[in-house]
Amino acid sequence: MSQATITRRYRFCAAHRLHTDQLSAEENRTTFGKCNNPNGHGHNYVVFVSVRGDIDPITHQVLEVSQLDAAVEQIVVRRFDHQDLNRDPEFAAQTTTGENLVLFLWELLVDQLPSGRLVKVGLIETRDNYFEYSGSAESNRREEGVSHG
Ligand SMILES: [Zn+2]
Protein backbone atom coordinates (compact mmCIF):
# COMPACT_ATOMS: atom_id res chain seq x y z
CA MET A 1 0.00 0.00 0.00
CA SER A 2 1.35 3.43 -0.88
CA GLN A 3 2.28 5.79 1.90
CA ALA A 4 2.25 9.57 1.99
CA THR A 5 2.86 12.33 4.51
CA ILE A 6 0.48 15.16 5.31
CA THR A 7 1.60 18.30 7.10
CA ARG A 8 -0.92 20.52 8.86
CA ARG A 9 -0.25 24.03 10.13
CA TYR A 10 -1.47 25.39 13.46
CA ARG A 11 -0.95 28.64 15.33
CA PHE A 12 -0.79 29.96 18.84
CA CYS A 13 0.35 33.21 20.40
CA ALA A 14 2.36 33.09 23.60
CA ALA A 15 4.70 35.10 25.78
CA HIS A 16 8.02 33.97 27.18
CA ARG A 17 11.41 35.03 28.43
CA LEU A 18 14.68 33.25 27.73
CA HIS A 19 16.47 32.80 31.02
CA THR A 20 18.20 30.02 32.91
CA ASP A 21 19.18 29.92 36.55
CA GLN A 22 22.27 27.98 35.48
CA LEU A 23 23.80 31.20 34.16
CA SER A 24 24.51 34.48 35.93
CA ALA A 25 22.42 37.55 35.14
CA GLU A 26 25.21 38.87 32.94
CA GLU A 27 25.66 35.53 31.16
CA ASN A 28 21.91 35.37 30.56
CA ARG A 29 21.99 38.83 28.97
CA THR A 30 24.97 37.89 26.82
CA THR A 31 23.49 34.54 25.76
CA PHE A 32 19.89 35.51 25.14
CA GLY A 33 20.20 39.22 24.33
CA LYS A 34 16.92 41.09 24.20
CA CYS A 35 15.03 37.81 24.68
CA ASN A 36 16.27 37.91 28.32
CA ASN A 37 14.33 41.15 28.94
CA PRO A 38 12.70 40.66 32.39
CA ASN A 39 9.36 41.88 31.03
CA GLY A 40 9.18 39.07 28.51
CA HIS A 41 7.88 39.29 24.95
CA GLY A 42 5.56 37.39 22.67
CA HIS A 43 5.55 35.39 19.47
CA ASN A 44 2.97 34.26 16.94
CA TYR A 45 4.11 30.65 16.89
CA VAL A 46 3.35 28.45 13.90
CA VAL A 47 3.40 24.68 14.39
CA PHE A 48 3.73 22.16 11.57
CA VAL A 49 2.69 18.59 12.31
CA SER A 50 3.67 15.92 9.76
CA VAL A 51 1.94 12.56 9.86
CA ARG A 52 2.74 9.60 7.62
CA GLY A 53 0.61 6.63 6.82
CA ASP A 54 -0.91 4.30 4.28
CA ILE A 55 -3.25 5.94 1.80
CA ASP A 56 -6.64 4.54 2.73
CA PRO A 57 -8.18 2.68 -0.23
CA ILE A 58 -11.59 4.18 0.42
CA THR A 59 -10.92 7.75 1.59
CA HIS A 60 -7.61 8.11 -0.31
CA GLN A 61 -6.22 9.95 2.71
CA VAL A 62 -3.55 9.03 5.25
CA LEU A 63 -5.66 10.28 8.14
CA GLU A 64 -8.82 12.10 9.01
CA VAL A 65 -7.69 15.70 9.15
CA SER A 66 -10.46 16.65 11.55
CA GLN A 67 -9.15 14.13 14.09
CA LEU A 68 -5.61 15.53 13.90
CA ASP A 69 -6.98 19.07 14.16
CA ALA A 70 -8.98 18.16 17.25
CA ALA A 71 -5.98 16.50 18.88
CA VAL A 72 -3.61 19.41 18.24
CA GLU A 73 -6.24 21.93 19.32
CA GLN A 74 -6.82 20.09 22.58
CA ILE A 75 -3.22 19.21 23.41
CA VAL A 76 -1.23 22.13 22.06
CA VAL A 77 -3.30 25.18 21.18
CA ARG A 78 -5.50 25.22 24.28
CA ARG A 79 -2.47 24.71 26.51
CA PHE A 80 -0.29 27.46 25.08
CA ASP A 81 -2.44 30.03 23.26
CA HIS A 82 -2.30 33.43 25.00
CA GLN A 83 -0.27 31.96 27.86
CA ASP A 84 3.11 32.73 29.37
CA LEU A 85 5.24 29.72 28.43
CA ASN A 86 7.54 30.31 31.41
CA ARG A 87 4.60 29.57 33.72
CA ASP A 88 3.83 26.22 32.10
CA PRO A 89 4.79 23.35 34.46
CA GLU A 90 6.96 21.78 31.73
CA PHE A 91 9.13 24.87 31.70
CA ALA A 92 9.43 25.36 35.45
CA ALA A 93 13.03 24.17 35.26
CA GLN A 94 13.68 24.56 31.54
CA THR A 95 14.34 27.49 29.25
CA THR A 96 11.58 28.21 26.75
CA THR A 97 13.86 28.08 23.73
CA GLY A 98 12.42 26.99 20.40
CA GLU A 99 14.50 23.82 20.73
CA ASN A 100 12.92 22.86 24.03
CA LEU A 101 9.47 23.85 22.85
CA VAL A 102 9.58 21.81 19.64
CA LEU A 103 10.80 18.75 21.57
CA PHE A 104 7.98 19.15 24.05
CA LEU A 105 5.41 19.53 21.27
CA TRP A 106 6.71 16.26 19.81
CA GLU A 107 6.41 14.56 23.18
CA LEU A 108 2.85 15.77 23.66
CA LEU A 109 1.75 14.71 20.18
CA VAL A 110 3.56 11.38 19.82
CA ASP A 111 1.57 9.97 22.72
CA GLN A 112 -1.71 10.95 21.08
CA LEU A 113 -1.14 9.54 17.62
CA PRO A 114 -1.00 5.88 16.58
CA SER A 115 2.51 4.47 16.92
CA GLY A 116 4.84 5.33 14.07
CA ARG A 117 2.60 7.96 12.48
CA LEU A 118 4.22 11.20 13.65
CA VAL A 119 7.09 12.09 11.31
CA LYS A 120 8.10 15.62 12.24
CA VAL A 121 7.11 18.65 14.25
CA GLY A 122 8.18 22.09 13.04
CA LEU A 123 7.96 25.38 14.90
CA ILE A 124 8.29 28.90 13.53
CA GLU A 125 9.12 31.33 16.32
CA THR A 126 10.11 34.45 14.40
CA ARG A 127 10.48 35.44 10.78
CA ASP A 128 14.00 34.02 10.82
CA ASN A 129 13.76 31.18 13.38
CA TYR A 130 12.45 27.73 12.50
CA PHE A 131 12.95 24.64 14.66
CA GLU A 132 12.11 21.06 13.89
CA TYR A 133 12.32 17.70 15.59
CA SER A 134 11.80 14.19 14.32
CA GLY A 135 12.36 11.75 17.13
CA SER A 136 11.42 8.16 17.28
CA ALA A 137 7.67 7.85 16.83
CA GLU A 138 7.67 4.97 19.33
CA SER A 139 9.42 6.76 22.16
CA ASN A 140 9.78 10.18 23.61
CA ARG A 141 12.84 12.30 24.30
CA ARG A 142 13.25 11.11 27.87
CA GLU A 143 13.70 7.54 26.68
CA GLU A 144 16.18 8.77 24.11
CA GLY A 145 18.20 10.43 26.83
CA VAL A 146 18.11 13.91 25.34
CA SER A 147 19.28 16.20 28.11
CA HIS A 148 17.20 19.09 29.28
CA GLY A 149 18.83 22.41 28.67
ZN1 LIG B 1 11.24 34.93 22.11
Q: Tell me the pTM.
A: 0.88
Residue 149 confidence (pLDDT): 37
C-alpha 16 to ligand 1 mean position (Å): 6
What are 97-149's pLDDT values in tens digits? 999 999 999 999 998 998 889 999 999 999 999 999 998 645 444 444 444 43
What are 20-64's pLDDT values in tens digits? 999 999 999 999 999 999 999 999 999 999 999 999 999 999 999
Between 79-88, 92-101, 132-141, the lowest mean confidence (pLDDT) is in: 132-141
35 is catalytic: yes
Residue 90: beta bridge partners? Answer: none
82 is catalytic: yes
C-alpha 138 to ligand 1 mean position (Å): 30
Please tell us whether the domain made up of 3-144 is placed in CATH 3.30.479.10. yes
Residue 140 confidence (pLDDT): 47
C-alpha 83 to ligand 1 mean position (Å): 13
Distance CA 49, CA 109 (A): 9
13 is catalytic: no
Residue 136 confidence (pLDDT): 64
**Residue spans per domain, the chain:** 3-144
Catalytic residue among 82, 138, 143, 144: 82
